[in-house]
Amino acid sequence: MAYQTLPTTSGQPLRIAVIGTGWIGAFHARTVAQYLPDAQLHVVADPAPGRAAELAAQLGCTNYTEDIADVFADKTVDAVVIGAPSAFHAGLITQAAAAGKHIFCEKPAAHALVDLDNALKAVENAGVLLQIGFNRRFSQDFASVAEQVNSGAIGTPQLLRSLTRDPEVAGGLPNAAKIRSHVIFTETLIHDFDTLNWLNPGAEVQEVHVMADALVAPEHRENGLLDTAVVTMRYSNGAIAVAEANFSASYGYDVRGEVFGSKGMVQAGNPVQLAASSFDAQGAHAPTERLNIELFAQAYRDQLSIFTRKIRGLREGSADAALAVPTGKDARAALRVALAALESSETGLPVKLESATRLAVNA
pLDDT in tens, 263-285: 999 999 876 555 555 555 676 66
Question: What pLDDT is attached to residue 10?
Answer: 43
The strand ranges marked E within 283-331 are 283-285
> 3-state DSSP call for residue 287?
coil
CA distance linking residue 249 with residue 256, whole number of Å: 13
CA distance linking residue 154 with residue 166, whole number of Å: 29
Question: What pLDDT is attached to residue 169?
Answer: 87
Question: What pLDDT is attached to residue 9?
Answer: 41
Tell me which residue of 108, 74, 117, 65 sits closest to 88, measured CA to CA: 108
Question: What pLDDT is attached to residue 273?
Answer: 57
**Cα angle, residue 192 at apex, residues 187 and 197 outer, rounded to 5°:** 125
Question: What pLDDT is attached to residue 8?
Answer: 46
Low-confidence ranges of the chain (pLDDT < 50): 8-11
Instruction: Select the CATH number that applies to the domain covering 137-290+332-352 from these four: 1.10.486.10, 3.50.50.60, 3.30.360.10, 2.170.130.10.
Output: 3.30.360.10
Q: What's the whole-model pTM score?
A: 0.92
CA distance linking residue 13 with residue 29, whole number of Å: 16
Tell me which residue of 245, 243, 218 sits closest to 232, measured CA to CA: 243
CATH of domain 14-128: 3.40.50.720
Tell me which residue of 360, 363, 362 sits closest to 116, measured CA to CA: 360
Decide if 14-128 and 137-290+332-352 have a common fold: no
Q: Where are the chain's structural domains?
A: 14-128, 137-290+332-352
Question: What pLDDT is attached to residue 3?
Answer: 75
